[in-house]
Amino acid sequence: MIALLLYRTLADHFLPWAVTFATRMLARGLNMPEPLVQSTGDYVVTQVLAFEHSVGKSLCPFRLARLLRAWWRQKR
């Protein structure tokens, strides 16, 4: 019960503050406005997710295992 309360306190109060603080510090370090840093971060996350989704199909563990098994059978 105490762990759940601690988790909720961190999730509800500390994490949003930490994200805002990190964004503000990054914006100051890059000498950019905060909204530009946030939108750039959103764009990068979107591009990475799209790449992972497109490549993830070819890197599926089950598919790779099937390919490895077929290669191993041909090698014998």
Digit-coded pLDDT (tens) for 10-45: 777 788 888 899 999 999 999 999 999 999 989 999
Q: Is 4's pLDDT higher than 90?
A: no
CB 51 within 8 A of CB 44: no
Q: Which one is predicted more confidently, 67 or 24?
A: 24
Please give the Cα distance from 76 to 73 (Å, whole number): 5
Render the burial of 40-52: b for 16+ CB within 10 Å, e for the rest.
eeeeeeeeeeeee
Identify the helix (H) or strand (E) that includes residue 3: helix 2-9
The DSSP output letter for 11 is I
